[in-house]
Amino acid sequence: MKNFVFYNNTKILFGKGKIESITTEIPEDAKVLMIYGGGSIKENGVYDQVIDALGDIEFYEFSGIEPNPTYEKCMKALEIVEDNDIDFLLAVGGGSVVDATKFIAAAYYFQGTDPWDILAHSEEVFEALPIGVVLTLPATGSEMNGNAVITRAEYKQKLSFSSPEVLPQFSVLDPRVIESLPARQIGNGVVDAFIHVIEQYLTYPVDAKIQDRIAEGVLLTLIEEGPKVLKDPTNYDACANFMWSATMALNGIISSGVPEDWTTHMIGHEITALHGVDHARTLAIVLPGVMNIMRESKKLKLIQYAQRVWGIENKDDNTTIDLAITKTVEFFESLGLPTRLREYKIPMTTIDEIVERMEERGDVNIGENKLVGIDEIRKILTDRY
Amino acid sequence: MKNFVFYNNTKILFGKGKIESITTEIPEDAKVLMIYGGGSIKENGVYDQVIDALGDIEFYEFSGIEPNPTYEKCMKALEIVEDNDIDFLLAVGGGSVVDATKFIAAAYYFQGTDPWDILAHSEEVFEALPIGVVLTLPATGSEMNGNAVITRAEYKQKLSFSSPEVLPQFSVLDPRVIESLPARQIGNGVVDAFIHVIEQYLTYPVDAKIQDRIAEGVLLTLIEEGPKVLKDPTNYDACANFMWSATMALNGIISSGVPEDWTTHMIGHEITALHGVDHARTLAIVLPGVMNIMRESKKLKLIQYAQRVWGIENKDDNTTIDLAITKTVEFFESLGLPTRLREYKIPMTTIDEIVERMEERGDVNIGENKLVGIDEIRKILTDRY
């Protein structure tokens, strides 16, 4: 096991009826900016529950955060924060809304010229506005970590930052929010959580037995519960298991003391930046290629994954790995996510474009062993055309 | 899954050489009381590492915390805290030292007449001194939770309290501290952690799939790694897995959203209070009796435990449960813990005495279904004589 530091101070309020607990979690004298997306919370009742719970607390609203939230939109929210002396941000939405809220919280205290430097030049975040979350879509795990991914539309760039300063103070997870989600978002959420686990698991063994077993436990749960949620989003227990899986997938527990990869995410972000494909769908495209092309350096963990997650036994190594990849692809497709670039009508020329962009930005020699170079990125994408 | 609140803000600093990081974790201007036990830290080098790391920070020392730390000793430490304007407590030791430190931290701000009321009358803890931990013995999980167990010697009472106010600010976990531990403490530690998991797992199913799998993952890891550590405590990876297992066993992750039992602990505490038997050994005595006597109400989880943890398949229910109990007993005994009351030369009359004490204090109708009454406590202890 590698040395590690684990710290996560987000309070999780999980279960039926938990939205009302924001009443006691937000300071009475706070000036709140409630941040949300396209307005689905007004249709599913979450908006009304939040307004009820806010009661006498003074609040403003900022709506319209996009999937793949943009720097441009966040900067508009920041104006409202500054103009109204806002001192508490309440994100009501999925990962995009939470990520945008984190960037706004950090940008507020940014001392340099342009808060974009937090993303583009990894400028450290020393302070941020306090954040609360009412999660409406389990997927990204953003409700219990300090990570955010923001897109700058004018540059077609999608970049991430991470800071303990933007860990939400609290996150409300009521699995009933899943009832009103479209099937596409449920499928995306299951795959997103699944691949978060994979990026922290499918590397090389360091004899970290608990971390491996927790990772495998989350994967198995998503495999069992994902299809149930998709079939019947009113199945409360399945929704609860899915929701807690997505949070546990990226709250720092699984990654403590083990190597991480994140190749699939880095390549996936490029597909979203260039063609606007849903984040989870880009991961579903790329991951099988990473498994296939990196099968030598990931061999031991790929075999462990095949055995413990898919129950594949008594085959030679290559067949075991092939079967694990096939099972993974079938699982993603069963959740409604096509896994080939061509299925998204992406031209073959995009492969070169992605390779060039990543080379230009220095995003090469990535992965747990720094073995994913230009050639490997090209092979992975070609494998998945 | 049941509704739950999860909150744990302890920063974990895990790995080789991590003791030196207390330099940056304790405020420079703090006045520290370093609290420890019988002095083994002076033999194994931990004391010197801590003193080095404290550097110019002003500190006092309080030694002599006993296994099963007493109220009486804690009150002496409290005098030193008060007399010297101490504002930070550094526990250097195992669970007993950490528990004592938590009680001292809470007692300092206690507004009533006698801080014992925090334990005896569940008086709420509203504030506590900040706590840091350098763990020297993996077992209790106290390094990452808000629980403490304190004994009042004059009353022969061993009681617990719990408060988020006494969550350590940080805990240093360097697995190399295990190298110098006596075999008895290693065996005890593995069993203690194992039974912590069991108390949060072996109840009735609530379809909490991740919690179950994490619990099973910790149990499997302790079964695999415990004997390795006992055989060779210089096996770093085995020690690291054991140490992180003990912490994960009781940091709130496993218990989130599931019923808990704690019958084994409640009965075990009585055996320690009356006969001074090591905490873990009392648990090793009692647990198999709880499994046996409560086999009907725990049937579904006992069978799941038998299958997933011990690989017992294709037997009828009662045989499956019997085999799981036998495997559990054999595991404890292989670690050097006798599992029968008579092996500790405890007289048969102790059974009546425990039953009377628990009845008198109202500690009856305990367990996840409140089904463990007077008769059951007597049967459990008789079963384990």
Q: What percent of chain B has pLDDT over 70?
A: 100
Cross-chain Cβ contact A14/B3 below 8 Å: yes
Is pLDDT above 90 for A158? no
Instruction: Kindly write down the DSSP assignment for every residue of A178-230, as one continuous string.
Output: GGG--HHHHHHHHHHHHHHHHHTTSS-----HHHHHHHHHHHHHHHHHHHHHH
CATH number at residue A50: 3.40.50.1970
Rounded to a whole number, what is the distance in angstroms from the first to the last CA of chain A?
37
The reply to whether B241 and B377 lie within a common domain is yes
The reply to whether B172 and B319 lie within a common domain is no
Return mean pLDDT, chain B.
97
Provide the residue-wise pLDDT of chain B in tens; the chain has 385 residues: 999 999 999 999 999 999 999 999 999 999 999 999 998 999 999 999 999 999 999 999 999 999 889 999 999 999 999 999 999 999 999 999 999 999 999 999 999 999 999 999 999 999 999 999 999 999 999 999 999 999 998 988 888 999 999 999 999 999 999 999 999 999 999 999 999 999 999 999 999 999 999 999 999 999 999 999 999 999 999 999 999 999 999 999 999 999 999 999 999 999 998 999 999 999 999 999 999 999 999 999 999 999 999 999 999 999 999 999 999 999 999 999 999 999 999 999 999 999 999 999 888 899 999 999 999 999 999 999 9
Residue range A65-88, pLDDT digits in tens: 998 899 999 999 999 999 999 999
Cross-chain Cβ contact B209/A225 below 8 Å: yes
Contacts of residue B12 in chain A, CB cutoff 8 Å? 4-7, 256
Residue range A232-241, pLDDT digits in tens: 999 999 999 9
CB-neighbour burial class of residue B113 (10 A; exposed 0-12, middle 13-18, buried 19+): exposed
Which pLDDT score, from 0 to 100, does residue B36 have? 98
- Whether B76 has its CB under 8 Å from any CB of chain A: the answer is no
Mutate which: B16, B18, B25, B210, vs A, most A CBs within 10 A = B210
Structural domain harbouring B48: 11-176
On whether the CB atoms of residues A47 and A41 are closer than 8 A, the answer is yes
Q: How far is CA A369 from the centre of its chain?
A: 23
Q: Domain end: B152, B176, B200, which one?
A: B176
Residue of chain B with shortest Cα separation from A169? B7
Residue of chain A with shortest Cα separation from B208? A241
As a whole number, mean pLDDT of residues A51-64 equals 97
SS3 track for B148-177: EEEEEHHHCEEEEEECHHHCCCEEEECHHH
The reply to whether A153 and A204 lie within a common domain is no
Distance between CA A194 and CA A289 in Å, rounded?
16
The reply to whether A156 and A305 lie within a common domain is no
Neighbours of A328 (CB within 10 A): 25
Cα torsion for B109, B111, B114, B119, to the nearest 10°? -70
On whether the CB atoms of residues B343 and B329 are closer than 8 A, the answer is no
Q: Are strands A170-173 and A11-14 parallel, antiparallel or unpaired?
A: parallel
The reply to whether A128 and A226 lie within a common domain is no
Domain membership of residue A6 (yes or no) is: no
Cα torsion for A351, A353, A359, A360, to the nearest 10°? -170
CATH number at residue A352: 1.20.1090.10
User: Which residues, in sequence order, are bridge partners of residue A91?
Assistant: A35, A133
Q: Domain end: B176, B206, B228, which one?
A: B176
Is pLDDT above 90 for A251? yes
Residue range B99-110, pLDDT digits in tens: 999 999 999 999
Which pLDDT score, from 0 to 100, does residue A361 have? 85
Residue range A264-322, pLDDT digits in tens: 999 999 999 899 999 999 999 999 999 999 999 999 999 999 999 999 999 999 999 99
The reply to whether B77 and B208 lie within a common domain is no
Domain membership of residue B6 (yes or no) is: no
Distance between CA A201 and CA B51 in Å, rounded?
38
Residue of chain A with shortest Cα separation from B11? A7
> Which of A3, A11, A16 is closest, CB to CB, to B5?
A11
> What tokens were used for B150?
């304190």
Cross-chain Cβ contact B237/A18 below 8 Å: no
> What tokens were used for B10?
């302890």
The reply to whether B119 and B229 lie within a common domain is no
Residue range B292-331, pLDDT digits in tens: 999 999 999 999 999 999 999 999 999 999 999 999 999 9
Which pLDDT score, from 0 to 100, does residue B158 have? 84
- Whether A12 has its CB under 8 Å from any CB of chain B: the answer is yes
Q: Domain end: A124, A159, A176, which one?
A: A176
Neighbours of A111 (CB within 10 A): 8
Residue range A343-369, pLDDT digits in tens: 999 999 999 999 999 999 888 899 999
Domain membership of residue B56 (yes or no) is: yes
- Whether A24 has its CB under 8 Å from any CB of chain B: the answer is no
Write down the residue that tokens 């001392």 correspond to.
A111
Contacts of residue A217 in chain B, CB cutoff 8 Å? 209-210, 213-214, 216-217
Give the torsion sign (CA, B33, B37, B39, B43).
negative
Q: In Å, how far is B256's CA from the nearest CA of chain A?
A: 9
Q: What percent of chain A has pLDDT over 90?
A: 96
Domain membership of residue B5 (yes or no) is: no
Cross-chain Cβ contact B15/A257 below 8 Å: yes
Is pLDDT above 90 for A45? yes
Residue of chain B with shortest Cα separation from A12? B6
The reply to whether A238 and A115 lie within a common domain is no
Domain membership of residue B72 (yes or no) is: yes
Which pLDDT score, from 0 to 100, does residue A39 have? 84
Q: Are strands A157-162 and A147-152 parallel, antiparallel or unpaired?
A: antiparallel
Domain membership of residue B103 (yes or no) is: yes
Contacts of residue A208 in chain B, CB cutoff 8 Å? 240-241
Domain membership of residue A277 (yes or no) is: yes
Based on the structure, what is the number of domains in chain B?
2
Cross-chain Cβ contact B214/A217 below 8 Å: yes
Q: In Å, how far is A260's CA from the nearest CA of chain B?
A: 17
The reply to whether B150 and B299 lie within a common domain is no
The reply to whether B239 and B163 lie within a common domain is no
- Whether B210 has its CB under 8 Å from any CB of chain A: the answer is yes
> Which of A9, A208, A225 is closest, CB to CB, to B9?
A9
Return mean pLDDT, chain A.
97
Confidence class of residue A107 from pLDDT cuts 50, 70 and 90? very high
The reply to whether B165 and B193 lie within a common domain is no
Residue range B164-185, pLDDT digits in tens: 999 999 999 999 999 999 999 9
